[in-house]
Chains A and B, each alone.
Chain A
Amino acid sequence: MSKLLMTRRRFLATTGCSVAAAPAMTPMAFASAPWDTRLVVLILRGGMDGLDVVRPIGDPAFAEARPTLAAGDGLPLDGFYTLHPALAPLHPLWEAGELGFAHAVSTPYRDKRSHFDGQDLLEAGTGFDVTTGATRDGWLNRMLQHVPGLEADTAYAIGREDLLMLAGAAPVANWTPGTRLDLSPQARRLFEMIYEEHPVYQAAVLEALDLTEDIAAAEAAAGAEEDDGAMAAMMAEASGNGAHMEMAEFAVERLRGDTRIAAFSLGGWDTHGKQATSLPKALRQLSDVINVMRVGLGPLWGKTGVLAMTEFGRTVRENGSHGTDHGTGGLMLTAGGALRGGKVYGRWPGLDEAALYDRRDLMPTEDVRAYAARAMEGLFGISGNVLSGKVFPGLDFSQAPRIVL
């Protein structure tokens, strides 16, 4: 049972209470997470080129390495770095101290530069010593395993793909926005009837009906409140096919309720050619997602931290097709009112050829997991021992900056 969703409906189904009694049960009857802060983790699949997103224009070698990609139209950050213009919608957050970055970070993954292995390692949160195939759970789930009494809907993996980061022994919820159960009243009645005899199946189907109704209700209510109106407008203007917005909107709805952790991934970062046109698409989606969260979460945004991580960075020199190839050191983006933004963290290693990793990639100077550890420590009060011992085995993050306000 531990891995099953234990929500109100499920509880009723398994204990034999009738659904008619449901209104008498309030969510307060159940223990929820012992904290009120929110964490959103975004996996940027494909290897985001951090050097293009947060451009080190103060490094004399940068312009030379990027003859076409370093065009000087970046938005001002701190003098040394500028921001890719496609992230202009997020620039006000930088000024408000709600957007930050960590540069020259990476997982322990190095030489093979395979997306598949790199992402597995990023989500597993382990180091070199654990072979990829041996890893069966992810760091967010291992963190949850150390918080007793959590419910499944405390943490949501959103989207169809299996998120290794949230996989493991702790109960979590999975839902794919856009999953509908459009049943005629008669079909629904008959489904409820045939499921009634099978309690475990019944609990799951009621949960599904519940969730789809919740989601439909939230959609119907959108526009009724002022911030929802703003959110709806942003949804309408969203770039791309909209799947990213569906996931963001879904995350917002859940995080307004009992959910404290939401994770999903965004693709489109593998920019081997014509990066000047391909990267902005991915960046616009990322900025759509973050802005929808900011608007949709309203006052909760102040309690929220968003971490956007990628499996590795890309080559320092642009390649022969105006793109970049798989590299090593990369960039993490942070957003949210709970995090200390307005700053580019990280120790800059320089772009002289001798300073590069393998004479081609940005040298990683910090472990990206150290920032995730600081976020969990600061947002949820998870102890350093648990973080270094279990969540990220063997990680020393004592030198990492405290990014939570």
Chain B
Amino acid sequence: MNFTPEIAAIRFGYGLSPHHAPPESVAAMVATLAAPDAMAQAWPIGSIDELYPEFQYLSDLKKAERNGDPDAKQKYRDWRAKDRARHAEMLRATVARALDAPDPLRERLTRFWADHFTVRGKGVSRLSVQRFVQDAIRPNLSVPFAEMLKAAVTHPLMMIYLDQDKSIGPGSAVAARNAEKGRRRGLNENLAREVLELHTLGVGGAYTQQDVRQLAELLAGMTLDLRKGVRFEPKRGEPGAEDVLGESYGGQKPQLSDIHAALEDIATHPDTAAHIARKLAVHFVSDTPPPALVEALRARFAETGGDLGAVTAAMLEHPEAWGPLAKTKQPYDFLTSGYRALGVSGAQLARLNLSKTRKALLRPMTLMGQPWETPNGPDGWPEDTAHWLTPQGLAVRINWAMTAGRSKEIELPDPRELVRTALGSQAGPRLEFAAQAAESRAEGVALILASPAFQRR
């Protein structure tokens, strides 16, 4: 099994496009990742840091409302409307990057790792998930995994999502003060548990409840003031050293560098290497990936201290990564690759307002069972075909395909051409026949986009 341009575009990107040639070689794909991030420049998404003044503003508004400011409620509503508009803009930017990138490998990797480090929005930062992705995930696709882990775990959105902002060391000064006042607030293990279970070693990894507890105590001083960002408060931290996976961290005075040291060690643990290797192979290649491929990724992870650029390259270089298409696209991939195949550009997408963004992106994803940014839990979206290939999901995909090409914004391609530009040799003679046998252009387009061939990646 060898590199083929079509498989490269479909398996490691968002499919074929009438505007972009598929990747030429593995070396070209690897070079794409080393090049400057042109798509992020063309379609910017801001950092969470930009919002701290706004959170301060909201907090001031709340005070003003309590003090009887009659306009405060309206101002809050105005802010929410602005936030919703920005949220839709970030979604459009995300998809625009996938449509405009000549080789969207970076976009696919970004989605993969964003799912690995799933966060769901809560409270005033609810619509800021893509800022987390931009801050913590995107710049770290080709660096040691420890860097991404630290960036994700210490990001405000992750801390809010997994309750780290509420965690207090049971032996800390703050806990003692709370006890005097009769308040019972203390340690929250949520973030520590997910770091070990989901983000690094994996659920079968060599950690115990004691490791979870100790890591939670180590993390305890790390907290959040949404108006200022992440802070380390030694008074909330647990005094004394903590033992995590057999290593001791910290001393009498809790500090952030001890947390970083622990995360660096956990990031290169052998079980982490195995967990990440398998996840990558499952996501990109097969629900039941070839063991040799998984082993190659694990070995490269271990040899390079978890260098994600090297691990990605190992996947692309492995012959087992080039077998026949075996996965089913998740709704986001399906929609995005559908628009890419239809030749829709980022600029066309950028012209959509909030309500048209709902119609073109948010609503179809919801109907297909993958509402944007709202997976059930921190384990992210399911990978297996069985989850996505439900009768109702398929019915929605077919219905979407029946209408996608009929939008005013999109010039309907000739199905006989689309079957080649969208699928190349993957189409097969039956689909080629069906595309020209349809009663109308729109139906021909629908047959192609809703075909099993197009739904595979």
- What residues make up the interface of A, taking CB atoms closer than 8 Å to B? 1, 3-5, 116, 131-136, 160, 162, 164, 167, 174-176, 179-181, 183-184, 186-187, 190-191, 193-198, 200-202, 204-205, 207-208, 210-212
Contact = CB atoms under 8 A, between A and B. Distances in A.
B193 A204 contact: no
Contact of A160 (B367, B386, B437): B367
B348 interface: no
A182 to B, nearest CB: 8
**Interface size class of chain B, counting residues whose CB lies under 8 Å from the partner chain:** 35 or more
Contact of A133 (B162, B389, B434): B162
B443 A187 contact: yes
Q: Which of B390, B447, B451, B453 has the most CB of A within 10 A?
A: B390
Contacts of B4: none
Contacts of A204: 389-391, 393-394
A167 B193 contact: no
A208 B190 contact: no
5 contacts: A1-B386, A133-B190, A184-B443, A191-B447, A202-B452
Contacts of B396: 179
A160 B384 CA distance: 19
B455 interface: yes
Closest 8 CB pairs of A and B: A208-B391, A198-B452, A207-B391, A201-B452, A208-B395, A190-B434, A3-B386, A204-B394
A190 B398 CA distance: 13
B402 to A, nearest CB: 8
Q: Which of B122, B369, B394 has the most CB of A within 10 A?
A: B394
B379 interface: yes
A191 B431 CA distance: 9
Interface string B136-179: 00000000000000000000000000100000000000000000
B390 A174 contact: yes
A176 B387 contact: no
A180 B391 CA distance: 11
Contact of B395 (A3, A181, A198): A181
Given A174-B392, A179-B396, A208-B395, A194 B451 contact: yes
Mostly, the B contact residues are: helix
Contacts of B386: 1, 3-4
Contacts of B23: none
A3 B387 contact: yes
B450 A191 contact: yes
A197 B434 contact: no
A194 B443 contact: no
Q: Which of A162, A184, A208 has the most CB of B within 10 A?
A: A208
B387 A194 contact: no
Contact of B438 (A3, A132, A190, A211): A190
Contacts of B408: none
Given A160-B367, A205-B394, A208-B392, A181 B443 contact: no
Nearest to A200: B389
A5 B452 contact: no
Contacts of A200: 385, 389
Contact of B390 (A5, A132, A167): A5
A197 B430 contact: yes
B47 interface: no
Contact of B392 (A135, A176, A202): A176
A193 to B, nearest CB: 6
A1 B122 CA distance: 36
Given A134-B193, A136-B377, A191 B452 contact: no
A366 to B, nearest CB: 23
A357 B433 CA distance: 69
B378 interface: yes
A183 B442 CA distance: 12
Contacts of A205: 391, 394, 398
Interface string B429-457: 01101100111000100110011110100
A134 B198 CA distance: 10
A131 B391 contact: no
